Structure 1
Amino acid sequence: MMQASIAKDLAAITALKARYCRTLDTKDWDGFGDCLAEDFTGQYDGMPRASKDEPEVAHVAGRKSVADGTAANLQNIPTVHSVYAPEIEIIDETHARGVWAMRDYLLFPTCAFVGYGHYHEDYVKSNGVWRIQRTHLTRLFVEEEWR
């Protein structure tokens, strides 16, 4: 690949991840879903939860299922997601992988949650558009303030 093409792909993937965070926090569920590949899969460790009875790990699959489930769980929950320090590797013209440091804050009626960790992701480019194909969110540390 030419350097200009790699730089363009890196910029597009960086914009994709920024859009993912913005659409999630602003509750733009169509935009959020558009960040994900149709065959998206994800694992989220140290999940934010509204109850101590809820699981701490979630496995999800499918763009529509994930977007609909996220909307149902977070529609009325204030959230702030921040990502930084990207390590992105372009594998070929249609595949890439990356790791992003992250911090998120969610304010449930029953719990204030802050998490720190890393998104480990695979990206796929289809019809000229990069999307997240797989994510594994690992947590280094979480703070849960139960009310």
Structure 2
Amino acid sequence: METIERLSIIEELRRLMARYVRYADHQRWDDLANLFTPDGTFTPLKPAGTVWLRMNGRDEIAATVGAVGGPGVTLVHHLFSDEIDVDSTTTAHGVFAMEDIVTRPEDAEVSETIPFRGMHGFGHYHARFVRADDIWRIAEIKQTRIRLDFTD
């Protein structure tokens, strides 16, 4: 693979992940889910490395991630440094440093799935990408956490 082609793919994947965080911040759950392959997965992990949730497929991703959203919820995501490896013209993987802040209204219900009113987290997205029909999509994201700070 030529250097320019590899760099072009890396830039496309950076833009894909930028759309992911923008769609999350604007609570555009269907748009966010459509960045995944139809059978894509999203698995956020707790700081100890255990699975917090596992979402399979676009519909489940949109519904589950969307459950954090709702009236009065503010989401802020930042992506920082990235390490993207292009495996072929149709597959790649990468790690993206991230920070997120979730603020829910005072009267928001706290549950086992969403055990907080406010959260400030730090960690990494570990992503696997595939290209089909000339479009890059997310096949899998695992979100690891270094730190999570909760507020009541």
Please give the range of the TM-score, normalised by the shorter of the 2 chains.
Answer: 0.7 to 0.9
SS at match of 2:53: strand
* AA matched with 2:23: T
1:124 aligns with 2:124: no
Identify the match of residue 58 of structure 1 among 47, 53, 56: 53
The CA RMSD over aligned residues, in Å, is 1.8
1:12 Cα deviation from its structure 2 partner: 0.4
TM-score (norm 1): 0.88
Identify the match of residue 140 of structure 1 among 126, 142, 146: 146
SS at match of 1:7: helix
* 2:2 corresponding residue in structure 1: 2
Matches within 5 A, 1:33-72: 33-46=33-46, 57-72=52-67
Show structure 1 runs of 5+ residues with no match.
Answer: 48-54
Matches within 5 A, 1:8-27: 8-27=8-27
1:56 Cα deviation from its structure 2 partner: 7.1
Q: How far apart are the structure 1 equivalents of 2:51 and 2:41?
A: 17
1:71 Cα deviation from its structure 2 partner: 2.1
* 1:87 corresponding residue in structure 2: 83
Show structure 2 runs of 5+ residues with no match.
Answer: 107-116
Q: Which structure has more strand as a fraction of its residues?
A: 1
Q: How far apart are the structure 1 equivalents of 2:147 and 2:66?
A: 25
TM-score (norm 2): 0.85
Q: How far apart are the structure 1 equivalents of 2:42 and 2:144?
A: 11
Q: How far apart are the structure 2 equivalents of 1:116 and 1:94?
A: 30
